[in-house]
A and B are shown apart, each in its own frame.
Chain A
Amino acid sequence: MNKTALLGYPNIGKTTLFNSLTNSYEYVGNWSGVTVEKKVGNLHNNSGKLIDLPGMYDLAPLSKDEEVVMNFFLNEKFNSVLNIIDANHLSTNLHLTIQALEFGKPVIVGLNMVDVAKRNGFTINDSLLSKRLGVTSVPTIARTGEGCSELLNEIACAGESQAFELDYGVEIESLISQITKIIGVKSGHNKRWLSIQFLLNNNMVISYLEGLGIKNELKAALGNKSFNGEIVKKREEYINSLIEEVVTFSEEGKVEWPAKVDALVTHRIFGLPIFLFIMYLVFQATFTWIGAPLSDIVDGFIGGTFTELTEKVLSAIGASTLLHDLVVNGIIAGVGGVLVFVPQIFILFLFISFLEDSGYMSRIAVVMDRFMDVFGLNGKSFIPMIISFGCNVPGIMAARSIEQKKDRLITILTAPFMSCSARLPVYVLFAGAFFSSNQGTIVFSLYVLGIVLALIVTKILSLTILKDEKSIFIVELPQYNLPHAKTLFRSTWEKGKNFIHKAGTIIFAGSIGIWLISYFGMSGANVEMNDSFLAAIGGFFAPIFSPLGFGTWQATAALITGFLAKEVVVSSMAIIYAVSDDTLGAEMIKIFTPASAYAFMVFILLYIPCLATVAVIYRETKSKMWTIISMAYPLVVAYVIAFIINKVGQFFF
């Protein structure tokens, strides 16, 4: 089976191309560090497999995700390399192309974002570029899929590689010859490439060569010299001469507005307020202006027509009381109680996808870099945090792109404070019931609270147990894009369908589990809810939550189920309170006060991460101690903050 590796700088559209070239759909984001693991997809024309590798600037790895690429090059078999280059940044991107060419496999170059390059005044002679590099280069526009069929053909036809040898000067060439001889037949890789990477102090190549048992010979050949500077300089000279030949630049038609917009949205003082204002508008639109009426329609359908129809069907088949209660009070109440919020979740994801794809979110990382520096982290940590708004699991995985161990650990520990979509149904339920005219503002405040607390914890950890050296954040700002409708809707659907999938699995199972332990009690089946096993379990822990304003067995039981998956909290409540014709929100008003309702939402935001998040924290930290800490400290923080809110809130609400 033909295998092609997809290689390139971060955030230049590799994954968008991967999705166009294969039958897969992987998450894309207009910022760097989205891909942290390799992904395999089958090419559309059945010519083989395409392996999407994390973006990297150089084959010498600095972070964990970059190690994935080097590990792939050293240890896996593949036939060719599809190197994606940003047509706007040829001078930097070609450094990686040279390394791919030196590796010795056939290289196909995808010259991406040629449309943006044209807008910026660049014209690239791609046929001359192909000739000079000895490769095939194909102009592409990943967002629209332009050039993809040509790329597929080129991948299918990739033949033998042409030898690419850059002259690094007498001294380095002599060393390359010596190292090549020392390696001899011990490695199947291109010896010249290995030698150059060795001279560049690529740690993974050094370890690989040491593994061949030639450590001492290599040390004797190289001594203590480093040739990094000379090699990079030679490459720069080559690239500059190449660009002079193949690129023409004209000021005519160059677009000026992106620079002006950047100056404003990344402004030292105005950048953050602009971001907060945009997010405020997003939340208002999602929860107050558009989402709430749509949710009411779904609610009306599930609670009305659908339930009536189901009851008729159950009567027609002569369903037993047990089956009737299981379906109506268990499945419809539990799963339906969560599905009601699907419109709001989709609308929120649509807005977030728009901001991501437009290039704005990368600017926020720059704005946050300055801000986060005060708290002991940098902007790179903010990207996993933003990803965590979708789901904490991939957010924690995205921390792999952070080079500093200390920064990575702090990011992993604080990412669960970012409010994932699973918590949204709880907010919408309570905000709708208690703060109906300010739903958007209330939900927005919870997201902001999560960020603020994450920053405070970060500061405490950086000053105490996780003191370390500072690291810097370098990011290449992507071009602004008007998001393509197809990409936007696909991205929204991919984010949102996870929620619907959960409704059919874990929420369904959780609802039935909750219903079962609420249907049975010590005295048998079909007991009063207050005499059920669920009431007994919830009642046992309930006094702990009394100081927070929600010390009822119902709220406690819902919190316990939330460890499995946060969505199940609302399902549990829907089942527990489905005892009258009132809506769930109306039931909540009888049990909670506005202060205790807000305290409950804050507790849901902050308390123990869900099972999947805890497992991924253990997988990423490989430490039982940090995993236990990641579960214990949010519980303490949640308890303290919810207590304060309940007590102080009583004076305001």
Chain B
Amino acid sequence: MASGIITALILGYAGYAFYKSVKKKSQGKCGSCSSGDSCNSAKTCD
């Protein structure tokens, strides 16, 4: 039971992280923009 819940949570988070990252990346934003931080090399986040 516990294994099933933990597996579901991990897969759910992975799916969410994947969706969020791909969405931001397809907008031309690098990783730090995705996290809402400043960009690692220049100002690019809207």
User: When A and B form their complex, what is the total count of cross-chain residue pairs whose Cβ atoms lie within 8 Å?
Assistant: 153
Across the interface, do B42 and A398 meet the contact criterion of CB distance under 8 Å?
yes
With a cutoff of 8 Å between Cβ atoms, the chain B residues found around residue A506 in the complex are 17-18, 21, 25, 31
Most B-side CB within 10 Å, residue of A27, A326, A393, A512: A393
Please tell me which one of the listed residues A323, A499, A615, A616 contacts residue B3 in the complex, with CB atoms under 8 A apart. Answer: A323
Across the interface, do A495 and B41 meet the contact criterion of CB distance under 8 Å?
yes
Give the complex CA separation of A498 and B31 in angstroms.
6
**In B27-44, which residues have CB < 8 Å from any A CB?**
27-32, 34-35, 37-44
Across the interface, do A512 and B14 meet the contact criterion of CB distance under 8 Å?
yes
Beta-carbon contacts of A289-328 to B below 8 Å, as 1s and 0s? 0000000000000000000000000000111101100110
With a cutoff of 8 Å between Cβ atoms, the chain A residues found around residue B3 in the complex are 317-320, 322-323
Across the interface, do B42 and A318 meet the contact criterion of CB distance under 8 Å?
no
**In B10-32, which residues have CB < 8 Å from any A CB?**
10-11, 13-15, 17-18, 20-22, 24-32
Which secondary structure dominates chain B's binding surface?
helix
Q: A319-B6, A320-B7 are in contact. Are A498 and B43 (CB under 8 A)?
A: no
Give the complex CA separation of A618 and B32 in angstroms.
20
Beta-carbon contacts of A32-54 to B below 8 Å, as 1s and 0s? 00111101000000000000100
User: With an 8 A cutoff between CB atoms, is A494 at the interface?
Assistant: yes
**In A524-548, which residues have CB < 8 Å from any B CB?**
none
User: With an 8 A cutoff between CB atoms, is A270 at the interface?
Assistant: no
Across the interface, do B11 and A512 meet the contact criterion of CB distance under 8 Å?
yes
User: With an 8 A cutoff between CB atoms, is A649 at the interface?
Assistant: no
With a cutoff of 8 Å between Cβ atoms, the chain B residues found around residue A387 in the complex are 41-42
Q: A25-B38, A394-B41 are in contact. Are A512 and B7 (CB under 8 A)?
A: no
Give the complex CA separation of A398 and B40 in angstroms.
13
Across the interface, do A323 and B42 meet the contact criterion of CB distance under 8 Å?
no
Across the interface, do B40 and A494 meet the contact criterion of CB distance under 8 Å?
yes
Q: A611-B26, A615-B26, A619-B28 are in contact. Are A394 and B2 (CB under 8 A)?
A: no
Known: A501-B32, A506-B18. 16 other contacts (CB 8 A): A37-B43, A317-B6, A391-B31, A394-B42, A394-B43, A395-B41, A498-B35, A498-B37, A498-B40, A505-B20, A505-B31, A508-B17, A610-B25, A613-B28, A615-B27, A616-B28
Q: What are 19 sample pairs from A and B whose C-beta atoms fall under 8 A apart?
A: A27-B39, A27-B41, A29-B42, A34-B42, A37-B44, A318-B2, A390-B40, A391-B31, A394-B39, A394-B43, A398-B42, A494-B38, A501-B31, A501-B35, A505-B21, A508-B17, A509-B17, A509-B21, A512-B11
List 3 tightest A-B contacts by C-beta distance, closest first: A616-B28, A390-B41, A394-B42
